Amino acid sequence: MNPLTAIAIDDEPQALEVVRMHAAKVPFLALKAGFTDAFEAIPYLQKNKIDLIFLDIKMPDISGIEFVRCLSTVPMIVFTTAYSDYAVQGFELDAIDYLLKPFSLARFLKACNKALDFKNIRSETAEDFLFVKTGYEEEKVELNDILYLEADGNYVTFVLKNRKLLSRQTLAEVLRTLPENRFVRVHRSYIVSLRKVDKIARTEITVNGVKIPIGASYEENVADLKSRLLKN
């Protein structure tokens, strides 16, 4: 079993140590790093692929809610806080779970299991199709029909071979439902299908004749995309 990789962010060293101690007892969890300063975690996340963040909400300079909204690619999030008032905001960001301090090892383990289940479901079910919310309905979309996705605020356009679908969700939310081995985020507003890429230039990618810009923050994703194309 591949471990669930994670980091923890909390401005209180003692709270961070609690997460470290609990994580050490979860066999399928690999806690890679801990940060008392949220801004120090940003370059780490840009260079390392992480499945999960244990994230305090009430921090100086920037809250956990604001921190998530600033991320270009959002891993799974488990919020940790002493303030229950933030629960609704946390779940609006599609957090996997919400741990109210002080939390027990059993409660921590439950959150980890939720995250692992989500990761496994994503890898097992996102093989051939997904269901896209269009208004009050959900429409079945074959993954092989997707050329690329374009975001506009809280809406995402699924650009397919012969049509387009508009869905009210963020690009980060969509990315969580797509298989990692088939789709790559190349810009804050674009996700492309690995199998539909025709050309990669220094500042843009061509998919089915359409030129898509490469964002400066996603150059590492594009470099990874190149290596995966060569393997295929």
* The total number of structural domains that make up the chain: 2
Handedness of CA 217, 223, 224, 229 (dihedral sign): positive
119 and 10 inside one domain? yes
155 and 75 inside one domain? no
Most confident of 16-20, 149-153, 193-197, 219-223: 16-20
116 and 161 inside one domain? no
Burial class (CB in 10 A: 0-12, 13-18, 19+), 200: middle
* Three-class SS state of 73: coil
Separation CA 40–CA 150 (nearest Å): 29
Digit-coded pLDDT (tens) for 160-203: 988 999 998 888 778 877 887 788 889 989 999 988 999 999 89
Provide the whole-model pTM. 0.59
Host domain of residue 215: 129-231
Digit-coded pLDDT (tens) for 23-53: 999 999 999 999 999 999 988 887 788 899 9
Contact 10, 80 (CB under 8 A): yes
Instruction: Supply the CATH number for residue 214's domain.
Output: 2.40.50.1020
Confidence class of residue 228 from pLDDT cuts 50, 70 and 90?
Answer: low
Digit-coded pLDDT (tens) for 40-90: 998 888 778 889 999 999 888 888 888 888 876 788 999 998 876 655 455
61 and 164 inside one domain? no
140 and 219 inside one domain? yes
Contact 141, 164 (CB under 8 A): no
Residues in Cβ contact with 160 at an 8 Å cutoff, skipping those fewer than 6 apart: 141, 145, 146, 147
74 and 17 inside one domain? yes
